[in-house]
Amino acid sequence: MKPAQMKKGLSLLWLSLFLLPFSLVSAQQAPFVDILEIEGPVTPVMLSYIERGIRTAEGNGAQALIIMLDTPGGQTDLMGKIIQALLDADVPVVVYVHPPGAYAASAGTLITLAAHVAAMAPGTTIGAASPVGSEGQDLGETMEKKVKEDLKAQARALAARRGDEAIAWAESAVEEARAATADEALALGVIDFVARNLDDLLTQMDGFEVTVQDRQIVLHTEGAAVQRQPMTFFEQLLHIITNPTIAFILLTLGVNAILFELSSPGGYVAGIVGVICLMLAFYALGVLPVNYAGLILIALAFVLFFVDVAAATQGVLTIGGIVSLVAGALVLFNSPLYQVSLASIISVALVTGLFFAFVVAKVIQAQRRPSVTGQEGLVGATAVARTTIDPTGTVLIAGELWDAQAVDGPVEAGEQVTVVAMDGFRLSVRRLPEG
């Protein structure tokens, strides 16, 4: 290599080494956003997931944390903790009601208002934030007024930066269960953007100024990379079982398994599975607006199933149990946003009914089957005369020798006889007809 070429090469090498740290810093500062995806009721799992997402976004330098939300609402105490987590966040938090057809109802309304940026996809809705009791029932007049006033105060505080129209709408969402489409919410100032998809949202938010912990932050999100933060396996499991249909199926499976274990103890597997299913079902029922009338009807259904098996009432109580199970599932949750699917109700009721009908049939069959042990088991059985029976002798039956008495004439040794009666330890026998 010529000296001039070597000199040029060394110059380029030193220049590359000099620029390398700057290129690394530039790569590290490329904007990105963290994404959480939430679908379902407000639960303790949702709270822990959001808190973990905020901590991660604060630590990794994300431009913003975007929560893609689709919820029918949930407990107000959990809602308050989520709102506090959003307000305390040291990173811009965006709540994006998505996909089309999703809603931020009830508690989801105030969670959306608490975000630094609120957005909705076309075809989504927000609102209907009127409070109900922990079991989904209407509150008493005094309690309802207290709870509504508290929620209205929160709604006013969260919507204050969005203008008078937004404040008025937020109050009406609590007082009158008012709801709004994405376009209506945007016109009222309740939300900041209507975005078709995530890319559209990132483009629209670019240059938008938000206030985070009394600091003014300008978002730089156009073309930002997306980092999704999925739920952990345990979080996914607990979140899935809060689906009303899954909760109902787990409850039914759990009770079926426990009853099966009680009817045929010793295997333990059915009992263990039943206990696990019931624990998961009780967790779900603890965070969903349960109607106790529905639970009572479901419990009555299984009582009827069990009594039918024990008493063998020809399946009459099983039919009643199926009706009670279906009725209980239909009213298990008061809120129209929390309903067990009709197809699942019918399927579970039919499978459960067929299972117990099968068990009842087996019980009846066992009761009608002739006894094969004891005195009743010998009557009608065939034996072989070991000695001449005139009128007494011995017969061989089931590998045992028994004293026997002929009831219709002598029987020669080696002839087959049938047992017609038993008196103590002596059998009354009759010669079998030839052929």
* Cβ neighbours for 246, distance < 8 A, ≥ 6 positions apart: 240, 284
DSSP code of 136?
S
* Cβ neighbours for 326, distance < 8 A, ≥ 6 positions apart: 345, 346, 349
From residue 45, how far is each of 79, 174, 208, 242 by CA, in Å? 12, 25, 31, 10
The enclosing H or E element of 226 equals strand 225-228
Amino acid at 121: A
Interatomic CA distance for residues 52 and 56, integer angstroms: 6
Interatomic CA distance for residues 126 and 243, integer angstroms: 20
Interatomic CA distance for residues 364 and 423, integer angstroms: 30
Residues in the chain: 435
Residue 236 Rama label (left phi>0; alpha psi -120 to 50; beta)? alpha
| C-beta atoms surrounding 66 within 10 Å | 31
Between strands 215-218 and 225-228, the pairing is: unpaired
Write down the catalytic residue from 146, 263, 341, 371: 146
Closest CA to 345 of 255, 252, 275: 252
Interatomic CA distance for residues 217 and 115, integer angstroms: 14
Write down the catalytic residue from 106, 130, 324, 335: 106
Longest dimension (CA), the chain: 135
From residue 341, how far is each of 246, 338, 345 by CA, in Å? 10, 9, 6
Question: What are the E-state strand segments in 49-202?
Answer: 64-70, 93-97, 103-105, 117-120, 125-127, 179-181, 193-194
Q: Is 106 a catalytic residue?
A: yes
Q: Is 7 a catalytic residue?
A: no
Residue 154 Rama label (left phi>0; alpha psi -120 to 50; beta)? alpha
Long-range contacts of 339-344 (CB under 8 A, 24+ apart): 339/244, 340/244, 340/245, 340/248, 341/245, 344/245, 344/248, 344/249
Report the catalytic residues: 106, 146
